[in-house]
Amino acid sequence: MTDQRRLWSVGEAPPRRESGPVRLADELSELACGLHHAETPEDVLREAVQAAMDLVPGAQAGSVTALIGDRRVEHKAESGALPARVDQVMSQYGEGPCLDALRERRIVRVDDMRHETRWPEFAPRAAGLGALSMLAIPMFMKDDVFCALNLYAGESRAFTDEAENVARLLAAHASVAYSGAQREENLLAAIETRDLIGQAVGLLMERYSISSGRSFDTLVRFSRQSNRKLRDVAAELIRDAEAGCRK
């Protein structure tokens, strides 16, 4: 009993007041603003997990997991020890609510893990860890990578239809915010890459008195010969030049 209580204390949500539709709308609006101001995609997921514990009735712990291909599971965010251990069991046996939600693109709800027959290997082990109720909500997809928000409770029948609806809305907000954070991160990386290549081209032009076109072609040729990304070749050239200036 002590171990189970310790597991839940990491991600246990504080007591929450009953909230009507207007209050929920206000809270989701605040959440959307907060998610869109997160600095990285990983920050979006961590904030989404915390928000789920604050807003979804019955949620005591949470995690976000991604499915790579058909079986490999990658942990993106988690609230504490229990989600990590339950997700580990799911990865070990290749079955569970989260994987069904990801593969079938639908919400999966578990009322009492002790009586579940859908996952004969996963269910008894998850129940033994203290996860009697679960809610898994698909979040977004990118190429062949899918993510889901997973919520856990230590009591049976912890998640109602209301909880499912709130979690679905929260997951939708998180999906949009995550995609936006990814686009911004990719844009910043593209700008940084462009600047690095521009600096490297300038160094070659100055060092060998050649045109910008020939300098760029030289970088591309070396990138192919060394089987390295053009950005990495440019960055190394700049580092070498800066090291030479310091000597």
pTM, rounded to two decimals = 0.67
State the average pLDDT over residues 50-77: 85
* The pLDDT of residue 231: 84
Of 151, 181, 211, the position where a domain reaches its end is 181
Q: Which two tokens stand for residue 21?
A: 């539709």
Same domain, 20 and 49: yes
Instruction: Report CA-CA distances (Å) from 228 to 37, 132, 219, 231, 242.
Output: 34, 49, 11, 8, 21
Residue 74 CB neighbour total at 10 angstroms = 13
* The pLDDT of residue 139: 85
Which of the four pLDDT bands, split at 50, 70 and 90, describes residue 13? very low
Distance, in Å, from the CA atom of 179 to the CA atom of 141, rounded to the nearest integer, reads 9
CB 98 within 8 A of CB 62: no
Residue 157 in this model has a pLDDT that exceeds 90: yes
Domain that holds residue 204: 186-246
Same domain, 157 and 198: no
Residue 30 in this model has a pLDDT that exceeds 70: no
79-133 pLDDT per residue, tens: 888 998 998 899 889 899 999 998 898 999 999 999 999 999 999 999 999 999 9
* The pLDDT of residue 62: 94
Same domain, 89 and 203: no
Residue 229 in this model has a pLDDT that exceeds 60: yes
Q: Rounded mean pLDDT of the chain?
A: 80
* Beta strand spans in 111-214 (E): 133-142, 145-153
Tell me, what CATH number does 28's domain have?
Answer: 3.30.450.40
Tell me how many domains the chain contains.
2
Distance, in Å, from the CA atom of 74 to the CA atom of 45, rounded to the nearest integer, reads 13
Distance, in Å, from the CA atom of 85 to the CA atom of 73, rounded to the nearest integer, reads 13
CB 62 within 8 A of CB 83: yes
Write down the H helix ranges in 69-160. Answer: 81-93, 97-104, 122-129
CB 10 within 8 A of CB 61: yes
Same domain, 160 and 58: yes
Tell me, what CATH number does 224's domain have?
Answer: 1.10.10.10
Residue 29 in this model has a pLDDT that exceeds 60: no
Residue 19 in this model has a pLDDT that exceeds 70: no
